[in-house]
Amino acid sequence: MIAADLTGSLAQRLDTAQTACADTPSLADSHAFDIDDAYAVQAALLERRVARGERIVGVKLGFTSKAKMAQMGVSDVILGRLTDAMRIGDGDSFGLARFIHPKVEPEVAYRLCRDVDLDDPLTDIESCVDAMAPALEIIDSRYRDFRFTYTDVVADNTSAAGYAIGPWSPVGSVANRAVRLRTADAESVGSTAAILGDPVHALHALLDMCRRRRIPLRAGEVVLAGAATAALPLVAGVTECDVAGLGSVTVRGR
Ligand code: 0L1
Ligand code: MG
C-alpha cells in the first residue's frame, strides 16, 4: 500500500491535469501502486471535486466489453464516479475547450430508485432501478496520448469527464439492441450485447464492485452501464447515440 501523502499527491496531479486541461504522463511510469491504491487515489481525487462544491450523482462502469478487457489484460470491470459538473442536458451545447482530448461512447443508463444495501446478501439490484435511458459518456483521460495502465485509469476516475442522458423509460430488457453512435465526422454501430453480454449484467457487476470497494449507491443516482461500441473522438457539431427501442440522446459540441 502506498503512503497517504503519495495518494494525495497523485490525486493532486490528476486533479491539476483536469482543471488546467493539460495532460500528464502515466503515474505508473514513475510510481508502483496496486489496484487498491488506485481506488484510494480515485477517492482522494473525488474528495477534491466535492470540496470544490461538486456533488456525486452516479457511477460508471468501464472495461465492460470483452475486447477492452483483453486489450488491458484484465478480467474485471472498473468503476468511476459521476459528478453534477459532468452532466450535459439532452440537446444542450457545451464547450469542447474544457476537455484535453475527449472521446465519446454510446451507453445505456439506469436510474437507482432506492439506496442499495451493500451488506444484505439478498439485495436484488434489479429491483433497485426504476428507469433506463440511452446515454452518451465523454471520456477524457488525463494521461498523455490516452496511454495508461489498468491502475492508472482507475486512479484517473476511469477517464470520466461528461455524460448526457436521453428520455427515461420503464426498465425492460435491452439485450442485443442495435446501437448507433454518430458524431459530425464519424459513425459506429454496435449492440448492447457488447456490454457484458446484456446491460443488465452491468448492474450485477456494479453491486459486486461496490461491495468490494465500499462505494455507496444512493436513490436517484445514475448508472452508466458501459460502452456498446469503441469510443469515437468527440468533435464540434452534433453527437447522437441511438439505442433501438429505447430512444436517442444528442449533444452539440462547440
Ligand atoms: O468504458 C469506459 O468508460 C472507458 C474507461 C476508461 C478507458 C478509456 O479511457 O479508454
Ligand atoms: Mg464508458
Ligand 1 atom index nearest CA of 63:
1
Residues with CB under 6 A from ligand 1: 60, 62, 105, 137, 139, 141, 153, 158-159, 226-227
User: What are the tens digits of pLDDT across the range 164-220?
Assistant: 999 999 999 999 999 999 999 999 999 999 999 999 999 999 999 999 999 999 999
- Three-state secondary structure call for residue 14: helix
User: What are the tens digits of pLDDT across the range 56-94?
Assistant: 999 999 999 887 887 788 888 999 999 999 999 999 999
Please give the single-letter amino acid code of residue 203.
L
Which DSSP state fits 240? E
Bridge-based pairing of strands 247-253 and 178-182 is unpaired
Q: Which of 224, 165, 227 is closest to 192 using CA atoms?
A: 227
Residues 6 or more apart whose Cβ sits within 8 Å of residue 103: 138, 139, 140, 146, 231, 232, 233, 234
Question: Which pLDDT belongs to residue 216?
Answer: 97
- Nearest bound ligand to the CA of residue 106: 2
Q: Distance (Å, rounded) from C-alpha 163 to C-alpha 221? A: 13
Q: Distance (Å, rounded) from C-alpha 188 to C-alpha 153? A: 24
Question: Which pLDDT belongs to residue 72?
Answer: 82
Residue 128 has pLDDT above 80, yes or no: yes
Q: What is the mean pLDDT of the chain?
A: 96
Ligand 1 atom index nearest CA of 231:
10
Question: Which pLDDT belongs to residue 152?
Answer: 97
Q: Which one of 63, 99, 241 would you pick to mutate in the ligand 1 pocket, going by the greatest count of ligand atoms within 8 A of its CB? A: 63
Question: Which pLDDT belongs to residue 98?
Answer: 97
User: What are the tens digits of pLDDT across the range 23-62?
Assistant: 999 999 999 999 999 999 999 999 999 999 999 999 999 9
Q: Which domains does the chain show, CATH number per domain? A: 4-253 (3.90.850.10)
User: How much is the average pLDDT of 125-139?
Assistant: 98
